[in-house]
Amino acid sequence: MIKLSDYLDYLNSEIIQARKAADENAVLVAKEYAKHSYLKYFKVPRYAMRTVKMDIPVKITDIDADSKYNFKYEPEVFLKDVNNKIIESNKTKDLKISLLEEKDLKNKDFQTLFKSLENKDQKYVKNFTTEIKKVDLSPQIKSLNLKVFKPQAEENEEANDALAKILSESISSRYNLVNSKLNNIYIDPNTGSSDDKDKLIINLHVEMEEEAIRIVTFTDKDGKEIEEITFD
C-alpha cells in the first residue's frame, strides 16, 4: 500500500531517468561520430520522448480523509425511527423490547447524551463509524424501563444489545456530512489478484509532456556569480 502521490512521483522519476540515459547515450554516440572520418559530417541521431502516455489500473486500498458532520436532533423523528426499528427487531428476533415514549427521551441520561453529541458538531473526524461506536449508550439503556419480565439473563442481554444497536443506528442517521477534507489516497498497483473483485479499481491516465530547463551560471559586472534557470 503506497500513497498515490508517491506512486506518481515514482513514475515521473523513472521517466526522467530514462530520458537522462537516452541523452547520455546520445553524447557518447556524438563523440564517436566526431572521431570518425566520415560520420563527423552527419547529424548525430538522438531519441527523444516528447510525450509519454500511460493508462495504468490501480486498486484503491484506503482513503485518508477528515470529515465534518452536523448532528440534528428532532425528537419526533428520532422517536419514530427508534420505534420502527424496535418493531422490526422484535419481529425478526422474537424479542419483547418495549417501544419508547416521549418521556423516555426527556430523562436526564438522554438529554445529556443529545447535548454532548450536539457539542461535538463541526469537528473533523477520521472515521465517522468509529466515532459513533465510541458513544456509550449503557446509561440510557439502563434508564429505560423495558416493562417486560424476562426470566433468563441471556434474553435481557440480547434485548439490550439489540436496543443499543437500534439507538446507535438512529443516532447515526441524525448526522449530515457538512464538509470533507481529503488528505491521502492509498493504492496498490497489483490488480491481478482474485481477491480484487470487490475492490475499487480505477484507471490512471497519465500524460507527461517534455518541458526542458537549462541552468546557466554567469558573472555580473560586480563579479557576483548568478545562476539563471530558463525554460525551453
- The larger pLDDT score, comparing residue 209 to residue 16, is at 16
pLDDT tens, residue by residue, 154-199: 557 888 889 999 999 999 999 988 888 888 999 888 887 767 666 7
One-letter amino acid of 93: K
pLDDT tens, residue by residue, 63-115: 888 888 888 889 999 999 999 999 999 999 888 888 999 998 988 999 999 99
CA distance 43 to 112: 84
Question: Do 201 and 57 contact (CB within 8 A), yes or no?
Answer: yes
Q: What mean pLDDT is reported for the chain?
A: 85
Grid cell digits, residue 218: 554567469
Residue 191: Cβ-neighbour burial (10 angstroms; 0-12, 13-18, 19+): middle
Does the pLDDT of residue 152 top 60, yes or no? Answer: no
Grid cell digits, residue 53: 502516455
Does the pLDDT of residue 6 top 80, yes or no? Answer: yes
> pLDDT band at 218, cuts 50/70/90?
confident
CA distance 54 to 42: 34
* Residue located via cell numbers 423495558: 146
Grid cell digits, residue 224: 557576483
